[in-house]
């Protein structure tokens, strides 16, 4: 299992890689978002060289606000264009997977409309997925894409699509954290994980691990039970990096101590 974190979109990606490497992060969850890391401005050659120099891996993350399902065709085409450009940029830095955030911002339309639009956008990207070798994975989001059946509406229609599980999101707007249910249904398609804490309800607080109501031990057990041993991004938003370092240590310790039995049960 590799532990990493995300660059701040306001800052220069190369400077972000420098401090992450010093903090012992094993990969960067590279988000291509303006103003600091716009897909049309980043120096992918320099980023790739910095990652190689620091022996860090990379996972691709795109802006969460792209109108992938817009009812206005020109806006949806804009989202397709941006996501296409990101696929090539991520191939250039050496990423194998790129996340996307399913859209639902289509007032006055039924759910099926925005599901169909998301699928159409994803299908339009598939030729470039094949060309670049960078796969697509969808992130669960509180509200409309946070349960196993809701995610199945997209995953069942596009077999190549991977799952990107955000365990913090799985704790929001639900009676119980949906991590176990999502992994039981779609665990074989899991490609990447985001981890952060919150107190349930609606507030996506992105707190340090152990400071909210996410049961870290249970979630680690669920991941290890389905055989996951990949990248986990600490999506902890804090100006004080000690909180990030504490989260890193707590995750490593929980993975080893709490996850062993689950991994053994699987074997």
**Closest distance of CB 36 from Zn ion, Å:** 18
Q: Considering the complex, state which of residue 76 and residue 194 has its C-beta at the smaller distance from Zn ion.
A: 194
Q: Considering the complex, state which of residue 54 and residue 147 has its C-beta at the smaller distance from Zn ion.
A: 147
Q: Rule CB under 5 A: is residue 166 a binding residue for Zn ion?
A: yes
The footprint of Zn ion on residues 177-196 (CB under 5 A) is: 194
Cα 167 to Cα 179: distance, rounded to the nearest angstrom: 6
CB atoms within 10 A of CB 66: 22
Segment near Zn ion (CB under 5 A); pick from 13-21, 61-69, 199-207, 229-237: 229-237
| Size of the residue set binding Zn ion (CB under 5 A) | 3
**Closest distance of CB 109 from Zn ion, Å:** 25
Q: Considering the complex, state which of residue 39 and residue 233 has its C-beta at the smaller distance from Zn ion.
A: 233
Q: What tokens appear for 156 in the block?
A: 């069942």
Strands (E), the chain: 2-6, 27-32, 57-62, 97-100, 135-139, 162-166, 190-195, 231-234
Helix (H, G, I), strand (E, B) or coil at 116: helix
By the 10 Å C-beta count (0-12 exposed, 13-18 middle, 19+ buried), 40 is classed as: exposed
Q: Considering the complex, state which of residue 194 and residue 225 has its C-beta at the smaller distance from Zn ion.
A: 194
**Closest distance of CB 233 from Zn ion, Å:** 7
Cα 89 to Cα 84: distance, rounded to the nearest angstrom: 9
Q: Considering the complex, state which of residue 50 and residue 236 has its C-beta at the smaller distance from Zn ion.
A: 236
Segment near Zn ion (CB under 5 A); pick from 15-23, 140-148, 231-239, 254-262: 231-239
Segment near Zn ion (CB under 5 A); pick from 15-23, 70-78, 159-167, 172-180: 159-167
Taken in order 5, 9, 10, 16, the sign of the CA dihedral is: positive
Cα 247 to Cα 153: distance, rounded to the nearest angstrom: 33
**Closest distance of CB 142 from Zn ion, Å:** 11
Name the site residues for Zn ion (rule: CB under 5 A). 166, 194, 235
């Amino acid at each position: 299992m590799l532990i990493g974190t995300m660059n701040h979109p306001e800052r220069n990606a190369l400077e972000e890689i420098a401090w992450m490497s010093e903090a012992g992060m094993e990969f960067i969850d590279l988000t291509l978002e303006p103003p600091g890391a716009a897909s049309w401005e980043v120096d992918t050659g320099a980023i790739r060289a910095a990652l190689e120099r620091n022996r860090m891996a990379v996972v691709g993350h795109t802006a969460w606000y792209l109108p992938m399902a817009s009812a206005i065709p020109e806006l949806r085409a804009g989202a397709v264009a941006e996501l296409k450009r990101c696929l090539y940029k991520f191939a250039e830095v050496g990423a194998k997977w790129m996340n996307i955030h399913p859209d639902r911002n289509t007032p006055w339309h039924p759910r099926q409309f925005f599901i169909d639009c998301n699928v159409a956008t994803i299908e339009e990207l598939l030729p470039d997925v094949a060309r670049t070798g960078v796969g697509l994975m969808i992130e669960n989001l509180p509200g409309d894409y946070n349960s196993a059946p809701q995610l199945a509406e997209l995953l069942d229609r596009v077999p190549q699509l991977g799952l990107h599980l955000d365990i913090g999101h799985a704790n929001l707007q639900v009676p119980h954290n949906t991590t176990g249910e999502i992994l039981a249904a779609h665990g074989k398609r899991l490609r990447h994980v985001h981890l952060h804490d919150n107190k349930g309800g609606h507030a996506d607080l992105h707190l340090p691990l152990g400071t909210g109501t996410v049961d870290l031990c249970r979630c680690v057990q669920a991941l290890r039970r389905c055989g996951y041993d990949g990248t986990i991004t600490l999506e902890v938003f804090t100006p004080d990096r000690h909180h990030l370092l504490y989260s890193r240590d707590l995750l490593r310790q929980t993975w080893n101590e709490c996850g062993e039995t689950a991994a053994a049960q699987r074997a």
